[in-house]
Structure 1
Amino acid sequence: MTAIALPKDAPADLPGEAPVLPATRPGAAGAWALAQAARDPYVILITIYIFAPYYVTRVIGDPVAGQTLVAGANKWGGWIVMATAPLLGATIDRLGPRKPWLAAVVALMVAMTAALWFTPPGGGGLSPAMVATILAAMTVAFAYHEMLHNALLVPAAGLSGAARASGLGLAGGNAMSVLMLVGVLIAFALPGKVAWGWLPAAPLWGLDPALGEPDRVTTLIVAAAMAAFSLPLFLKVPDMARSALSLGGAVRTGAADLAALFRGARGHRNVLTYLLARMIFTDGLTAILVFSGLFAAGAMQWATLEMLAYGIILSVAAVVGGLLAGWLDDAVGPKTSLKLELALLIVFEALALGMGRHRMFYQPWDGPALWDGPMFTTLPELVFLGLGCIIAITVTAAYASSRTMLTRVAPPDQLGVFFGLYVLSGNATMWLGPLLIEAATRIGGSQSAGLTPILGMLGLGWLLLFVVRGGGPVK
């Protein structure tokens, strides 16, 4: 939304054509960052590491069928986002206020996340169709939240504080997710599994592992945190003023704004080629995030304890990736960084797809346990964990380098236009990865076969980078 800056030929005969930013308020930037910290654990705990793997392995009971269901839900959600998000964002930009729309989205996200509690093993709760519908709707709601929340960044922090608040929001999301993972590990997963004196003897609150309650409780924890920690934003962050446009007028002028945005990008073949490459390889990066937990739970036969530890370790590794990207971009330039990151990611993702509880690098394995511990006791498990750390580092680094790359190839006087297209391109094909994975899983009949399109998306984006000019280090 506010990330979509209009080119000079944008419609000018509009009421409130140059909206005045509200004065920032004390604590508004922190409240904005806290709202992102409240939202992001949905991805980590529900989508990647805990709930979705639990649902696929214990409720569906078939990792292949479960992966197909999750892919289908993300596909439909991606189609809806592609069809609605750009015009909705442009329309709200013209109407003015963001907070009423964001409040409605947060309320829906809290309700839908909490509803996933009603998914016990053996049936008796929400049907798979209802769960798939919630997951698809959450894909849409999450994208809308990102759009509306990002549009409040400058009102919250001002132009001078936007970068600091943005970084704080990203760090807060990771920190909140890790704290939740550690909390669930100590309070619900480890008790009763290991005889450590400082742990409770049984899961807190009387949760029953046989009913999947230590897994399902993450839905209530994430929903409660989302509701509670979103409130400061609505109390402290100033909103944009209401424009004089009606809803119909805002839709029409929003559509005109989008047309002007695309007109402003014409004649810049090199930048558009990069955006195409980025659109394709980002689909692969996103697919890794969405499906890595499902694959780990199915292929390695990991339960709650292992998945919690896996999530904590990979979340820490991801921080290393963000730091590494900044250093590498400065040293060799973001284009070389991206080429290296994507190449490594293709290799290590291909190796990871050849792993399993009794399989290592596509070959059968039947060796003894290496140590007597609560988790990660076999060589395939330890190798898979190591591969996961490398993948987490390279995925995070590739995301960071891709953003830096645009600043090096886009004309400085049109960065707003191309960052607008950068945002739109992220939504345009977010359905592609789930669609290909759904089809490949059905055809291949295994999780690893279903995830092979990821390698193709990463590879095609990597190849396109070779025809993009620029992106070297700053001299």
Structure 2
Amino acid sequence: MGINQVEPSAIREKWLNRYTWAWASWDWGQAAINAVMITFVFTVYLTSELFGDTDHASLVLSQALAVGGLAIALLVPVTGLRADVAGRRKLWIVVNTLILVVICAACFFVYPDPSYLWFGAILIAGMSVVGEFAGVNYNAVLNQISTKATVGKVSGFGWGMGYVGGILALALVLFLFVQPIVEWPGANTDESLNLRWVAILSAAWCLLFALPLFFVIPEAPPSTSKKIPLVQTYKVLFNNIKELWRNDRNLLFFLCSSAVFRDGLAAIFTFGGVIAAGTFGFELTEVIIFAIVGNVVAALGAVLGGRIDDWAGPKAVIVGSLIGLLVAGAGVFFSPKATGFWIFGLLLCLFVGPAQAASRSYLSRLIPEGREGELFGLYATTGRAVSFLAPALFAGAIAIATPLVASGEAQRYGILGILVVLALGLLLLLPIRAPKKAA
């Protein structure tokens, strides 16, 4: 029996089943790309003094990510729609995951030399783009393996698996490559071989834990028998948005505001490790330890935020979290020492989890009956439609500060660019009508 034939009551009674495990396993594997490669380890290596001036390296990385974000904005909004129409959702998860694994493994060839800086930055941006292509269809699978009564638990389980997968991947990197507990060839530091081997580990981790989804989750049926040409797909997308403008502007405004503040949330993780190393002088070992602790704090924050969500409503959780993020971000900016980064950086992690979880809960309460798949897909795609914004403002703030401050201090001002994005998302959210609280 295909998964789409499972009775809703059976899914509700046994929500933690082989489909849920297979689906969440992909998020576990993807965590190695996000936590190890894009956030806390490889980007720290890429923006270190091995590649020249650290401010310049940070600027190059943020520029590459901004271009990648623009590509996401132009292409990702239609990829999920086309996969739904053609019934090839899982196919494109498989294809994009394999491409992601290849790009990740190619980072092994980013040698510690300034001439390899742009090569490394382009690979990181490529992983960001391809990972989002896969992620759009991955998020859409949620509606295949859950009902409205279980979607929150299933979604939260996947998110939790991602956090735990990231923690374990970071621990492996720390104890195998950075501070090895046993001597072995992969820990050799000549030409940063140990850090380049991290790319191979991350690629293998991603592929290994994606396999359950490849073989357990069935392909979704096509939503229509008609094929839609690429240009026509954009027309369909814009028609859907116009329909929301006419009939449910509150929902459309939430999609827009959440796209902005979620880009700020993503930037906190993207540039957190870079700022820890470049601005506060963290060694790579300290960055990884901070990342592990930060992931634990974020997971706890998400659980606590979910409980407050049921009591006070998701808008209150998001608004409170964004205000907390602005205060904690300002604390990081004004902190002169690493101790301040530990305190305010962990506060950032504490508020990120609730903001992410409550954002999904907010949308689930706004969706009209029978339109869950369409609007969760639009939520996933619009979430990346402005993904160039935070990297661009991070880069712009550094570029403006570079001639005005001492060498090595400009990177700190990139924090202000991220805070501007979070503040803009908060201002856009405030006038939106709050959904009803959970019963």
- State whether residues 48 and 291 of structure 1, in contact with CA within 8 Å, keep that contact through their aligned partners in structure 2: yes
Q: Does 1:347 align with 2:327?
A: yes
Change (3 A) 1:110 1:424: closer
Match of 2:69 in 1: 78
- Name the Cα RMSD after superposition: 2.7
Change (3 A) 1:244 1:79: same
Match of 1:135 in 2: 124
Match of 2:314 in 1: 334
Change (3 A) 1:237 1:274: closer
Match of 2:389 in 1: 432
Change (3 A) 1:163 1:470: closer
Task: Please tell me the residue identity of whatever aligns with 2:421.
Answer: M
The runs of 5 or more residues in structure 2 that have no matched partner are 12-16, 403-409
Alignment of 1:66-145 (within 5 A): 66-122=57-113, 127-145=116-134
Match of 2:406 in 1: none
Task: Please tell me the residue identity of whatever aligns with 1:107.
Answer: L
Selected match of 2:244 from 260, 265, 269: 265
- State whether residues 77 and 381 of structure 2, in contact with CA within 8 Å, keep that contact through their aligned partners in structure 1: yes
Selected match of 1:218 from 198, 201, 215: 198
- State whether residues 261 and 417 of structure 1, in contact with CA within 8 Å, keep that contact through their aligned partners in structure 2: no
* C-alpha distance in 2 between matches for 1:414 and 1:103: 26
* C-alpha distance in 1 between matches for 2:416 and 2:166: 28
Selected match of 1:237 from 217, 227, 240: 217
- State whether residues 71 and 437 of structure 1, in contact with CA within 8 Å, keep that contact through their aligned partners in structure 2: yes
- State whether residues 281 and 338 of structure 2, in contact with CA within 8 Å, keep that contact through their aligned partners in structure 1: no
Q: Does 1:281 align with 2:261?
A: yes
* C-alpha distance in 2 between matches for 1:416 and 1:158: 11
Task: Please tell me the residue identity of whatever aligns with 2:213.
Answer: L
Match of 1:61 in 2: 52
Match of 1:31 in 2: 22
* C-alpha distance in 1 between matches for 2:293 and 2:28: 19
- State whether residues 265 and 418 of structure 1, in contact with CA within 8 Å, keep that contact through their aligned partners in structure 2: no
Change (3 A) 1:278 1:223: same
Change (3 A) 1:100 1:337: closer
Change (3 A) 1:266 1:83: same
Q: Does 1:402 align with 2:366?
A: no
* C-alpha distance in 2 between matches for 1:269 and 1:162: 24
- State whether residues 31 and 163 of structure 2, in contact with CA within 8 Å, keep that contact through their aligned partners in structure 1: yes
Task: Please tell me the residue identity of whatever aligns with 2:34.
Answer: V
Displacement, 1:111?
Answer: 0.9
* C-alpha distance in 2 between matches for 1:108 and 1:219: 14
Task: Please tell me the residue identity of whatever aligns with 2:89.
Answer: R
- Which of 1 and 2 has greater Rg? 1
* C-alpha distance in 1 between matches for 2:179 and 2:3: 50
Displacement, 1:344?
Answer: 1.4
* C-alpha distance in 2 between matches for 1:182 and 1:72: 30
Displacement, 1:391?
Answer: 0.5
For each residue in 1:69-114, what CA deviation from the matched residue of structure 2 results, as whole angstroms up to 9, or x when unmatched?
A: 1111111111111111122221221111223322221221111101
- State whether residues 341 and 394 of structure 1, in contact with CA within 8 Å, keep that contact through their aligned partners in structure 2: yes
* C-alpha distance in 2 between matches for 1:157 and 1:88: 22
Superposition TM-score, scaled by structure 2 size: 0.87
SS of the residue 1:266 aligns to: helix
Alignment of 1:270-419 (within 5 A): 270-355=250-335, 360=336, 380-409=337-366, 418-419=375-376
Change (3 A) 1:183 1:352: same
Match of 1:9 in 2: none
Superposition TM-score, scaled by structure 1 size: 0.81
Change (3 A) 1:72 1:412: same
Selected match of 1:185 from 174, 185, 196: 174
Displacement, 1:381?
Answer: 2.4
* C-alpha distance in 2 between matches for 1:66 and 1:438: 11
* C-alpha distance in 2 between matches for 1:414 and 1:239: 20
Structure 1 or 2: more helix by fraction: 2
The runs of 5 or more residues in structure 1 that have no matched partner are 1-19, 192-198, 361-379
Change (3 A) 1:408 1:99: closer
